[in-house]
């Protein structure tokens, strides 16, 4: 029977607390980055506003300016304007039954303008706790705990709008290399910075080749995401990178096959592959850290 030392459980608990705290700061950024990619030939984006492919939201659904990137997805101006009387509450309930309920919901001030208030802290906390259990007290754990919220944020944005914003993908890659460099100078680390440095362009080149062969099946945002994932997985070596990459494609294939069997998608339907890349990298990282 495998038992976990109390010190590892304490480390995992502290990582969980960190993850919950960091995840609670993500909802606003998730809302601001969740701008749908403008399809070719469309002149307007969501809510009748011109949307650049790499833009972000500057206002809440009611039009109030948003300031800052961290914290809850809650607008103080909307909270002040939100109807507080029972009569207004009844009016809103009746309006929800009309065919134009979605449009009315956008126009009506609402203090909370984005989901994820509970999901993001819980998800980030679970990811950080699992990384702590697999990595232990080795110094690279600090890098994983700092990178985990960025990965969660990328996955959530891609799930919502099938888009991987450049500021986040490049932040993941640059932060991974910048954090792992000093870690390689500390005692008892288990990976190599050279592996991370070579893994980033190697995995990105592989994804670029797949993108060029099938642009409709693999978006260029996935190529940019591969830079950061390659750096993280490359830290533990090429076998870990191959494992994480294989896990991503396996999970994506299983999900796509399930959609086809359920008749919710066709053979040419595209899905957001970024979350599968991140989950595959997470699985590879856990195994690589545990076996290092």
Domain boundary pick from 70, 96, 116 = 116
User: Exposure string (b/e) for 210-249, b if CB count within 10 Å is 16 or more?
Assistant: bbeeeeeebbebbbbbbbbbbbbbbbbbeebbebbbebbe
What is the count of structural domains for the chain? 2
Q: How many Cα atoms occupy the beta-carbon half-sphere of 88 within 13 Å? A: 8
Q: Considering the domain boundaries, does residue 108 fall inside one?
A: yes
pLDDT at 5: 80
- For residues 60 and 27, the answer to whether their CB atoms sit within 8 Å is no
In this structure, the answer to whether residues 109 and 234 fall within a common structural domain is no
Q: Considering the domain boundaries, does residue 10 fall inside one?
A: no
> From CA 265, how far away is CA 66, in angstroms rounded?
36
In this structure, the answer to whether residues 177 and 256 fall within a common structural domain is yes
In this structure, the answer to whether residues 208 and 144 fall within a common structural domain is yes
- For residues 115 and 140, the answer to whether their CB atoms sit within 8 Å is no
In this structure, the answer to whether residues 208 and 240 fall within a common structural domain is yes
In this structure, the answer to whether residues 145 and 255 fall within a common structural domain is yes
In this structure, the answer to whether residues 83 and 130 fall within a common structural domain is no
> From CA 224, how far away is CA 182, in angstroms rounded?
24
Q: Mean pLDDT per 10-residue run, the chain (292 residues)?
A: 76 97 95 77 39 71 87 82 49 41 42 78 97 96 98 95 94 97 95 96 97 89 97 97 97 88 74 94 96 88
Q: Considering the domain boundaries, does residue 12 fall inside one?
A: no
Stated length of the chain: 292
Neighbouring CB atoms inside 10 A of 114's CB total 20
In this structure, the answer to whether residues 71 and 105 fall within a common structural domain is yes
Q: Considering the domain boundaries, does residue 217 fall inside one?
A: yes
In this structure, the answer to whether residues 97 and 172 fall within a common structural domain is no
- For residues 199 and 231, the answer to whether their CB atoms sit within 8 Å is yes
Q: Considering the domain boundaries, does residue 259 fall inside one?
A: yes
Domain boundary pick from 116, 134, 166 = 116
In this structure, the answer to whether residues 84 and 156 fall within a common structural domain is no
Q: Considering the domain boundaries, does residue 243 fall inside one?
A: yes
In this structure, the answer to whether residues 140 and 236 fall within a common structural domain is yes
Structural domain including 225 reads: 119-291
- pTM score, two decimals? 0.85
Neighbouring CB atoms inside 10 A of 285's CB total 28
pLDDT at 268: 67
Domain boundary pick from 85, 116, 147 = 116
Q: Considering the domain boundaries, does residue 235 fall inside one?
A: yes
Q: Considering the domain boundaries, does residue 149 fall inside one?
A: yes
Q: What share of the chain is helix, strand, coil (3-state, %, to 5)?
A: 65, 0, 35
In this structure, the answer to whether residues 123 and 64 fall within a common structural domain is no
In this structure, the answer to whether residues 172 and 286 fall within a common structural domain is yes
Q: End-to-end distance of the chain based on CA atoms, in angstroms?
A: 21
């Amino acid at each position: 029977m495998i038992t976990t030392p109390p010190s590892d459980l304490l480390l995992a608990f502290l990582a969980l607390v960190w993850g919950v705290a960091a995840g609670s700061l993500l909802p606003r950024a998730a809302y601001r980055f969740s701008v749908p990619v403008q399809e070719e030939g469309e002149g307007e984006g969501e809510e009748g506003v011109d949307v650049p492919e790499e833009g972000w939201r500057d206002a809440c659904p009611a039009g109030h300016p948003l300031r800052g990137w961290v914290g809850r997805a809650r607008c103080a101006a909307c909270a002040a304007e939100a109807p507080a009387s029972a009569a207004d509450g009844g009016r809103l309930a009746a309006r929800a039954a009309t065919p134009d309920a979605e449009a009315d919901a956008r126009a009506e001030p609402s203090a909370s303008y984005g989901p994820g208030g509970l999901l993001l802290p819980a998800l980030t906390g679970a990811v950080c706790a699992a990384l702590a259990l697999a990595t232990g007290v080795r110094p690279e754990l600090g890098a994983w705990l700092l990178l985990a919220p960025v990965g969660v944020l990328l996955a959530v944005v891609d799930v919502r709008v099938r888009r991987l914003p450049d500021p986040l993908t490049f932040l993941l890659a640059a932060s991974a290399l910048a954090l792992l460099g000093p870690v390689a100078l500390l005692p008892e680390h288990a990976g190599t910075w050279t592996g991370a440095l070579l893994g980033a362009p190697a995995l990105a080149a592989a994804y670029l080749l797949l993108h060029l062969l099938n642009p409709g099946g693999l978006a260029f945002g996935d190529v940019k995401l591969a830079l950061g994932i390659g750096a993280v997985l490359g830290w533990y070596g090429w076998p870990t990178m191959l494992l994480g990459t294989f896990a991503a494609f396996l999970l994506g294939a299983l999900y796509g096959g399930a959609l086809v069997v359920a008749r919710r998608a066709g053979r040419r339907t595209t899905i957001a592959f970024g979350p599968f890349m991140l989950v595959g990298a997470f699985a590879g990282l856990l195994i690589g850290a545990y076996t290092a």
